[in-house]
Amino acid sequence: MFNRIKKDIQVVFERDPAAKSILEILINYPGLHAIWFHRSSHFFYKMKWYVLARFISQVGRFLTQIEIHPGATIGEGLFIDHGAGVVIGETAEIGDNVTIYQGVTLGGTGKEKGKRHPTIGNNVVISTGAKVLGSFKVGDNVRIGAGSVVLREVPENCTVVGVPGRVVIKDGVNLNKERINEIDLQHNNLPDPVQEMLLCLQKQVQRLEEKVYQLEGKKNE
C-alpha cells in the first residue's frame, strides 16, 4: 500500500510543475484524493457491497468534485489535474499513465446494460472539457484536445480534436525506445481542423477570383 502511495505522489511530481513538496501534494491535490477514495470504494464494489461502495464514492465526490463510479477500473499512474467536474462511469476502463484534466467525462450514450463506457489505453492525455462517450476503445499514446467530443474508436498514436472528434495526427511522431513511456502533455499545441478547412476555402476562393479576372480581361480584349 505504501509503495503505491509513494508512486501516486511521484506521478504528481512528474506531471505537475506546480508541486513543491510531499506535504503539499498530500493535502492539496483533490485528484489524488479522488483516486484513493476510488480504491476503497472499488474494493467494496468487487465484494458486492454496492451501497457502501456508492456511499464512499459520493463522499469522495462531495470532497473533491470528482465523480468516479466504484465499478470503474483504473490502472496505475493516473493523474487527474485540478479535476473539478471530472466524471468516470461504471464500466469505464483506464490504462496506465493516463492524464485527465478538469471537466472530462468518460460516459455512456444511453441506458443500455453491460459495457457502455469507454476503454482508455496507456499513456493517454485527455484535455480540459473533453467528452468520451460510448463503449469503444481509445488506443495507447492518444491525445484528445480540449473540448473535443469523441464518439467512436480511436487508433493508437493519434491526436483527436473537434466536435465530433476527428483524428488529425496519426503516427506523426516516430517514438524511439527512450520515449515509449514518455507522456506528451502539450495539449495546448494541437491542430485545428476547422481553421485549416477555412484556410483551404479562402485559398480556393482567391484562385477562383484570379481566374475570373483573367477571363474578364480576355473578354474585354
**pLDDT string in tens for the chain (221-residue length):** 788 889 999 999 988 888 899 999 999 999 999 999 999 999 999 999 999 999 999 999 999 999 999 999 999 999 999 889 999 999 999 999 999 999 999 998 877 778 899 999 999 999 999 999 999 999 999 999 888 999 999 999 998 988 887 888 776 643 334 444 445 555 555 556 666 667 778 888 888 888 888 877 766 66
CA distance 36 to 78: 11
What whole-number distance in Å separates Cα of residue 87 and Cα of residue 150?
Answer: 15
Residue carrying the nine cell digits 506546480: 18
- pLDDT value at residue 109: 80
Q: Is residue 95 packed enough to be buried (19+ CB in 10 Å), middle (13-18) or exposed (0-12)?
A: buried
- Alpha-helical (H) ranges within the chain are 2-15, 22-28, 30-46, 50-64, 193-220
Termini Cα distance of the chain: 87
pLDDT score at 180: 42
Q: pLDDT value at position 105?
A: 94
Give the pLDDT confidence score for residue 176 in this predicted structure.
37
* H or E element that contains 143: strand 143-144
Q: Are 149 and 164 in contact (CB under 8 A)?
A: yes
**Cell digits of residue 154:** 480511436
Residue 92 CB neighbours (<10 A): 25
